[in-house]
């Protein structure tokens, strides 16, 4: 089961990393780490693995920058992972929609009026649909790096952890444990943090998770 979970996580991270490289623009490993919300050393390890498999080549650029370029083999692998990701997304959509609606309905029944989201990925907009259906207000959106979600700015973790007055719902499933840990490091009480009840592995491989 652990091997299957690790493979799913590896495939997703490889797909996301190759998506960042697709344009061929110069980008630092630190920038990639910030965008994906993973450790710098992990980005370095994945790039070395992708290069060893012939999926990525490295081109030196001015000012000590590098362009990580997908090879034809890399584009083919990204397409394969994209198809796998789409199939997985259909499962994730259905379960995330059900779970998030149940959570928001329960919170509303407890008198909660506003919640914040932590973590941006494909599932954040799904959670937002459930939030609207439960007639709750979105207070803040938080992540490791800035950006935008719909019409609002995304707050960095430290600022968002301080600004959020109500429950914080983790809406990036692959990074759920990491984001919860970092929120707590910034002083958010554990009882205020809500996340998915199922892991990425349990959703994608329900039979194996019951073993």
Question: From 3.30.70.990, 3.40.640.10, 3.90.550.10, 1.10.10.10, which CATH number describes the 2-77 domain?
Answer: 1.10.10.10
Listed by start position, the domains of the chain span 2-77, 90-204
Question: Rounded to 5 degrees, what angle do the CA atoms 170, 188, 166 make?
Answer: 70
Residues of the chain with pLDDT under 70: 1-8, 62-65, 86, 88-89, 197-211
Q: Which tens digits make up the pLDDT trace of 2-33?
A: 455 556 678 878 888 898 888 777 788 888 88
- Residue 79: per-residue pLDDT: 87
Q: How far is it, in rounded angstroms, from Cα 176 to Cα 200?
A: 9
Q: How far is it, in rounded angstroms, from Cα 195 to Cα 180?
A: 8
Instruction: Give the global pTM.
Output: 0.59
- Residue 27: per-residue pLDDT: 81
Lay out the sheet containing 152-156: strands in order across.
147-149, 152-156, 137-143, 114-118, 168-170, 193-194
Return the exposure string of 14-26: e unless at least 16 CB atoms fall within 10 Å of the residue's CB, then b: bbbbbbebeeeee
- Residue 205: per-residue pLDDT: 57
- Residue 194: per-residue pLDDT: 92
Q: Which tens digits make up the pLDDT trace of 143-152?
A: 988 788 988 8
Question: From 3.50.50.60, 3.40.50.720, 2.60.40.2240, 3.90.1150.10, which CATH number describes the 90-204 domain?
Answer: 3.40.50.720
């Amino acid at each position: 089961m652990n091997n299957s979970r690790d493979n799913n996580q590896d495939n997703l991270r490889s797909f996301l990393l190759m998506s960042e490289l697709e344009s061929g623009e110069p980008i630092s490993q630190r920038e990639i780490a910030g965008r994906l919300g993973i450790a710098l050393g992990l980005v370095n390890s994945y790039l070395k693995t992708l290069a060893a498999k012939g999926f990525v080549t490295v081109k030196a650029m001015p000012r000590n920058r590098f362009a990580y370029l997908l090879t034809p083999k890399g584009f083919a692998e990204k397409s394969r992972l994209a198809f796998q990701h789409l199939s997985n997304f259909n499962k994730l959509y259905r379960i995330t929609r059900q779970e998030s609606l149940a959570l928001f309905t329960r919170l509303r029944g407890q008198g909660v009026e506003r919640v914040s989201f932590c973590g941006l990925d494909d599932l954040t907009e799904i959670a937002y649909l459930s939030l609207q259906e439960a007639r709750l207000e979105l207070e803040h959106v938080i992540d490791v790096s800035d950006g935008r979600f719909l019409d609002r700015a995304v707050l960095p973790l430290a600022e968002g952890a301080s600004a959020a007055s109500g429950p914080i719902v983790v809406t990036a499933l692959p990074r759920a444990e990491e984001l919860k840990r970092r929120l707590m490091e910034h002083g958010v009480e554990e009882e205020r943090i809500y996340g998915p009840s199922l892991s990425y592995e349990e959703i994608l491989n329900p039979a194996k998770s019951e073993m």
